[in-house]
Structure 1
Amino acid sequence: MAQEIKTQWLGNMLFNADTLGGNFKIDAAAESGGQGKGVRPKALMLTSLAGCTGMDMVSLLKKMRAEVDDMEINVSGELTDEHPKFYNKVTLEYIFYGKDLKKDKIEKAIKLSADKYCGVMEMFRQFAEITTVVKYKEKKSS
């Protein structure tokens, strides 16, 4: 199934991206000839990874009846030194908030996302070493 996005050049390094579900601006930093009026292409890749695994987590945790009060997914990537620069190391930090968190189910959901469902994670695996960190912030029962 083919998917298509369209980008329109708006001058300098600025583009408008019309995607499945919305549009946004892509731009470079000033030191690279841009004006900083949009997101950076490589940052979008990290964002896509967080979004993909995040959507998996919401769906899986609901099915497993292991709901959480809140969740954050922070993604950081290390770029290679040589051009073309790409992420060769990526760390996903999952932070879960709630009380009586079902840690076994949460960790199973992370594994299912990583190994079975998240296509973006599979793409990253082709060029990057991926590390996962899980943190729990439990709320005290009143």
Structure 2
Amino acid sequence: MKATVSWSKELQFIGKSSSGHQIEMDGDGAKAAASPMEYVLMAAGGCSSVDIISILSKARQQVTDCTVNLDSERAEGTPRVFTKIHLEFVVTGVDLSEKHVARAVQLSMEKYCSVSLMLSKSCEVSHSYRIESA
């Protein structure tokens, strides 16, 4: 995997992935785009959500929506690294099995989500889930 990040203007940058996609980043208080740290946080939510949807689909669960609410704390001083991240998964569907949802979340957070697992090496990562009926 490769990527490039190029300066656009002021403290704004364009990231381009080797798969041909691009994002804007803003290091000046996220005025024009998300900050790099916001993208790291969203990447944890995206990576784990992919796992959960994949696992639940294989279990033939009728998922209609999956949202992850992320809450984080950062160090006061420089570097402003994450010290805590909490992921709350809200899985919505028809007749969802709590056993399947719990297993999907656990597998993602403990085995498959490379972003969350990488972050857990340097900060506290916790998770919870809620099931809602469609």
Q: Same fold (TM over 0.5)?
A: yes
TM-score (structure 2 length as normaliser): 0.92
1:70-115 residue CA offsets vs partner (Å, 9 max, x unmatched): 1111111100112101111000010011232111011101111111
Q: Percent identity among equivalent residues?
A: 24
1:92 corresponds to which of 83, 87, 91: 87
Query: Counterpart in 2 of 1:27?
Result: 26
Give the letter aligned to residue 60 of structure 2: R
Unpaired runs of at least 5, structure 1: none
Query: Counterpart in 1 of 2:121?
Result: 126
Query: Counterpart in 1 of 2:108?
Result: 113
CA RMSD of aligned residues (A): 1.4
Count how many residue pairs are aligned between Structure 1 and Structure 2.
133
Name the SS of the counterpart of 2:108 in structure 1: helix
TM-score (structure 1 length as normaliser): 0.87
Name the SS of the counterpart of 1:43 in structure 2: helix
- 1:58 Cα deviation (Å)? 1.2
Which 4+ runs in 1 deviate beyond 2 A?
Answer: none
Greater radius of gyration (CA):
1
Unpaired runs of at least 5, structure 2: none
Give the letter aligned to residue 29 of structure 1: D
More strand, by proportion:
2
Query: Counterpart in 2 of 1:15?
Result: 13
